[in-house]
């Protein structure tokens, strides 16, 4: 149940689950981007590389589903009030960062799905193969994967801002962190 100044336990749990997924997806994605396929195979071996790709796709699809759920919850449940009002700059900065995070955390999995399908690779969710929605087009796949990677960099930068703001509010003990913290 939400209080006047807190999100519901479900919303808070969903926030932190998504946060863990995003950090893991970024770590694996940047590994792929830095090492490339061959470098990943040389570093981790073929079996582990295949496992990493499968889980990256699986958790990307899961992220998309959880973000859609979060978007629905955001539309039907208004955010709780702040214990202490934010400044005008804080409202604009927080709103902009949240809007960009929501948009990118929806767009990046969709782009990865399309890039994977256009590359002729299976779109996997655990042991299931999902529809690709588009045919094979290697040039399009390369472009989509490039955008996918750069969008991941933008998310990483936004996370630094988001975490930094959270730490600032935690240090100020102004109630902002209590809105989203667990227990």
Q: What's the domain count of the chain?
A: 1
Dihedral of the CA atoms 123, 125, 127, 130 (nearest 10)?
A: -50
User: How does residue 105 score in pLDDT terms, banded at 50, 70 and 90?
Assistant: very high
Q: Count CB atoms within 10 A of the CB of residue 126.
A: 11
Residue 162 lies in a domain: yes
What is the residue range of 85's domain?
9-180
- Is 90 exceeded by the pLDDT of residue 183? no
CATH, residue 150: 1.20.950.20
Q: What is the DSSP letter of 127?
A: T
Condensed to tens digits (0 to 9), the pLDDT of residues 7-40 reads 999 999 999 999 999 999 999 999 999 999 999 9
For residue 130, what are the β-bridge partners? 123
Note the helical H segments in 45-137. Answer: 46-76, 88-118
In a domain, 173, yes or no: yes
Domain annotation covers residue 3: no
Residue 2 lies in a domain: no
pLDDT band at 1 (very low <50, low <70, confident <90, very high): low
Q: What is the pLDDT of residues 127-161, one digit of tens each?
A: 999 999 999 999 999 999 999 999 999 999 999 99
Residue 25 covered by a domain: yes
Structure tokens at 93: 């900065």
% of the chain with per-residue pLDDT over 70:
99
């Amino acid at each position: 149940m939400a209080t006047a100044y807190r999100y519901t336990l479900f919303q808070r749990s969903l926030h932190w689950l998504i946060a863990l997924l995003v950090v893991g997806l970024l770590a694996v994605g940047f590994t792929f981007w830095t090492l490339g396929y061959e470098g990943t195979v040389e570093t981790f071996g073929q079996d582990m590389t295949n496992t990493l790709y499968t889980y990256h796709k699986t958790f990307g699809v899961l992220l998309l589903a959880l973000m859609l759920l979060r978007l629905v919850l955001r539309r039907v449940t208004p955010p709780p009030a702040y214990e202490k009002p934010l400044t005008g700059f804080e409202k604009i900065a927080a709103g902009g960062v949240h809007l960009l995070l929501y948009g990118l955390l929806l767009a990046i999995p969709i782009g990865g799905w399309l890039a994977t399908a256009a590359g002729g690779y299976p779109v996997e969710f655990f042991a299931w193969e999902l529809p690709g929605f588009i045919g094979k087009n290697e040039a399009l796949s390369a472009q989509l994967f490039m955008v996918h990677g750069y969008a991941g960099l933008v998310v990483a930068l936004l996370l630094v801002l988001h975490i930094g703001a959270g730490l600032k509010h935690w240090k100020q003990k102004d109630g902002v962190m209590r809105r989203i913290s667990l227990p």
